[in-house]
Amino acid sequence: MKIAVVGCGAVGSYYGARLCQAGLEVHFLLRSDYAVVRQNGVTIRSVQGDFHVQPACARTPGEIGTCDAVVVALKTTANSQFPKLLPPLVGPRTAVITLQNGLSNEEQLARLFPAEQILGGRCFVCLNRLEPGVIHHLAHGKVVLGEFQRPPQPRTHELAALLRRAKVPCEVTDNLGRTHWEKLVWNIPFNGLGVAGVAGYDALTSGHPSPVTRHALGLVLTTDKLLGDPRWEKLVRELMLEVIATANALGLNVSESQADKQIERTRLMDEYKASTLLDFERRQPLELEGMFLEPLRVAQKAGVPVPRLTALCEVLRQLDQTR
């Protein structure tokens, strides 16, 4: 197979490198990292064993051309670039797979391509990009793969088998929507509080968060700090239960036990900075829309009380404006 990776940060580089290691023809579409990755390749420092690959590199999608599969791992803040980056890579039989966070990414792709070409994947993986072409894989790595607006197809299982061959644990889901909400159970508290925690505990629990200023900023919260303080762990759990209640109001049947499972898996990550916290520290735009604001709108439309998520979104909006 010929595969293009669009968005070669930590997630795109890691999974692209795994596919390259398995002997597939993998093309990385790169911008600022192009020269370094073309010369030095990609190095993965992994708890499962380090490895190095030399993927094909391109600056423009036209250099790559039509592929059998396109893996989209862009930050969702760059989704406006879909019309520019993706059409040269996509033919009538290309599978377009988004591994992005949050909701509505598949819907945005469906404005460009037929729905039956689109898949989504939920990644539960602990990664950091140390420098151009160097990724640190700390824990986990499973992908849950599903079709957009339809049940699994033969190609869904073929792609899952391909990922497993590339040493990526992969399962197929019969309900991609449920899978996205299960990921939000983790993303909303750990990505959100990792950043919003700088505003202080009171700002997130008072019900009426006061304006956040740089003078009020406190401690950024890695996963170990969020789970090492009973107050913050309680807030993590409350946010998780609000997300689960919203998913169940949509008829997605997400068990409340997801909260306990995800908290326990997160303890294995130790001092991990979630992606939104890294974006905040780098003064980059935060992935607010799909990961926080759209779930909030869905909850409000469904009539689900979500006071913790409401306060979190308000604090994140303010912090994003202070970048």
pLDDT tens figures, 5-40:
999 999 999 999 999 999 999 999 999 999 999 999
Rounded-to-integer distance, Cα 25 and Cα 172, Å: 23
Rounded-to-integer distance, Cα 285 and Cα 84, Å: 20
Please state whether 43 falls in left (phi above 0), alpha (psi between -120 and 50) or beta.
beta
- DSSP 8-state symbol, 88: G
Confidence band, pLDDT 50/70/90 cuts, at residue 271: confident
Q: First-to-last CA distance in the chain?
A: 41
Alpha-carbon distance values, 252 to 247, 274, 287 (Å): 6, 26, 24
Active site (catalytic) residues? 183
| 120-132 mean pLDDT | 93
Residue of 107, 60, 117 lying closest to 88 (CA atoms): 60
What is the reported pLDDT for 207? Answer: 61
- DSSP 8-state symbol, 293: I
Q: Is the pLDDT of residue 311 over 80?
A: yes
Please state whether 207 falls in left (phi above 0), alpha (psi between -120 and 50) or beta.
left
Rounded-to-integer distance, Cα 215 and Cα 319, Å: 12
Residue of 267, 262, 254, 323 lying closest to 295 (CA atoms): 254
3-class DSSP state of 27:
strand
Q: What domains are defined for the chain?
A: 2-174 (3.40.50.720), 179-321 (1.10.1040.10)
Find all residues with CB under 8 Å of 306, minimum gap 6, and list them: 242, 245, 246, 296, 299, 300
- DSSP 8-state symbol, 236: H
| 105-129 mean pLDDT | 96
What is the reported pLDDT for 304? Answer: 98
What is the reported pLDDT for 201? Answer: 80
| 35-55 mean pLDDT | 96
Rounded-to-integer distance, Cα 123 and Cα 180, Å: 10
Per-residue tokens: 221: 């919260």
3-class DSSP state of 292:
helix
Mean pLDDT over each residue of the chain, to the nearest integer: 93
Tokens 């957009």 sit at which residue?
Answer: 148
Pick from 59-73, 234-248, 275-289: least confident: 275-289
Residue of 310, 296, 291 lying closest to 204 (CA atoms): 310
How would DSSP label each residue in 171-234?
EE-S-HHHHHHHHHHHHHHHHHHHHHGGG-HHHHHSSSPPPP-GGG------HHHHHHSHHHHH
Q: Is the pLDDT of residue 210 over 60?
A: no
Rounded-to-integer distance, Cα 241 and Cα 186, Å: 11
pLDDT digits (tens, 9 = 90+) for 218-255: 567 899 999 999 999 999 999 999 999 999 999 999 99
Alpha-carbon distance values, 310 to 22, 196, 265, 292, 304 (Å): 44, 12, 26, 9, 11
Confidence band, pLDDT 50/70/90 cuts, at residue 85: very high
